[in-house]
Amino acid sequence: MGEVSFKKKLKNIIGFKPWNLSLYEQAFTHQSRAKQVLKKALTNSNERLEFLGDAVLDIVIADYLFKKYPFKDEGFLTEMRSKMVNREILSKISAQMGLTELINMNTHITRNKAAARNAGGNALEALVGAIYLDVGYKKTYRFVVTKLIEQFIDVDGLMQERINSKGTLFEWAQRHKKQLEFDSQMIDETNRRKQFLSKVCIDGEEIAQAIQPTKKKAEQLASDKACEILKIE
């Protein structure tokens, strides 16, 4: 994609003129492409910007929720933030925004639908990181609120949904002043298939554990078991 075309599409997506175009080009450079063409995946792929964007997105969402719900407690705010920035939602938003077509990645990634969706979510986080570096926090906050939250996330609908077991566990721990911890780690990687063991601990005591192919699923299943053991509805 030519620079003029990329810049035009980018402006339509973010809603303002980008100043440091190289930041955004990096935000849309997948690791597979950086390794193949640039041979410098660490410094030229979007992984570092993704790391930064993930942190910035967390603080922006926390800021937004803190202002929107002035009388809600920490447990509610934490659960809402986790719902709004989970991987599935970010990947869907990325696809709806048309970010995937801007990502510079190898064809074997584009042919794999799951990998392409994941790359889209990562690129969205990297884009947030690039915006933060390019124009600062205030414009980043405005972008996240107006271009992501207001257009693609039904915040009030999420609030009305039944909180999942992990969120229920957090609320229960908050309410009863208990220390809730998840000890999650990869325990096996056979034939490139990862397995994660997640343990739920309350005040340092293990309550339940589960093994699943992803950390998120392991924590969710362990939370389901913990809620059942503790009789939390």
Q: What is the CATH classification number for the domain harbouring 204?
A: 3.30.160.20
Whichever domain contains 54, its CATH number is 1.10.1520.10
Q: For residue 192, is pLDDT > 80?
A: no
Distance CA 231, CA 23 (A): 50
Residues involved in catalysis:
54, 125
Q: Are residues 42 and 139 in the same domain?
A: yes
Are 37 and 93 within one domain? yes
Segment 104-115 shows an average pLDDT of 70
Domain shared by 90 and 8, yes or no: yes
- Check residue 43 and give its pLDDT: 53
Question: Which range among 64-68, 127-131, 154-158 shows the weakest confidence by mean pLDDT?
Answer: 154-158
Say if residue 79 is in the same domain as residue 125. Answer: yes
Q: Is 185 in the same domain as 91?
A: no
Highest mean pLDDT among 62-71, 87-96, 158-167: 62-71
Q: How many domains does the chain have?
A: 2
Alpha helices (runs of H) in 2-154, residue ranges in sequence order: 3-14, 21-27, 31-33, 41-44, 47-68, 74-84, 87-97, 107-110, 113-135, 137-143, 150-152
Indicate if 118 and 90 belong to the same structural domain.
yes
> What pLDDT does residue 12 have?
92
- Compute the distance between CA of residue 44 and CA of residue 36 in angstroms, rounded to an integer: 11
Residue pair 137/157 in contact (Cβ under 8 Å)? The answer is no
99 and 181 fall within a common domain: no
Print the domain residue range for 174: 165-230
Q: What is the pLDDT of residue 175?
A: 84
126, 188: one domain: no
pLDDT at 168: 84
- The pLDDT-based confidence of 1 (bands split at 50, 70, 90) is low
pLDDT tens, position by position, 57-90: 999 999 999 999 998 888 778 778 877 887 778 9
Last residue of a domain, one of 160, 181, 196: 160
Neighbour tally for 205: CB within 10 Å: 8
Q: Give, as one character, the DSSP assignment of residue 29.
A: B
- Are 145 and 50 members of one domain? yes
Segment 126-154 shows an average pLDDT of: 96
- Mean pLDDT, the chain, rounded, equals 84
Alpha-carbon span 30 to 46, nearest angstrom: 6
Query: What percentage of the chain exceeds 90 in pLDDT?
Result: 40
Among 111, 130, 160, where does a domain finish?
160
Task: Give tens-digit pLDDT for 13-60.
Answer: 999 999 999 999 999 998 876 555 554 444 578 999 999 999 999 999
Same domain, 117 and 226: no
Phi, psi of 155 (to 5 degrees): -65, -45
Reported as a pLDDT band with limits 50, 70 and 90, residue 193 is low
Which of 135, 160, 185 represents a domain boundary (last residue)? 160
Are 132 and 111 part of one and the same domain?
Answer: yes
Candidate from 65-74, 95-104, 108-117, 123-132 with smallest mean pLDDT:
108-117
What percent of the chain clears pLDDT 70, i.e. is strictly above it? 86
Residues 25 and 133 in one domain: yes
| Per-residue pLDDT at 162 | 47
Which one is predicted more confidently, 32 or 231? Answer: 231
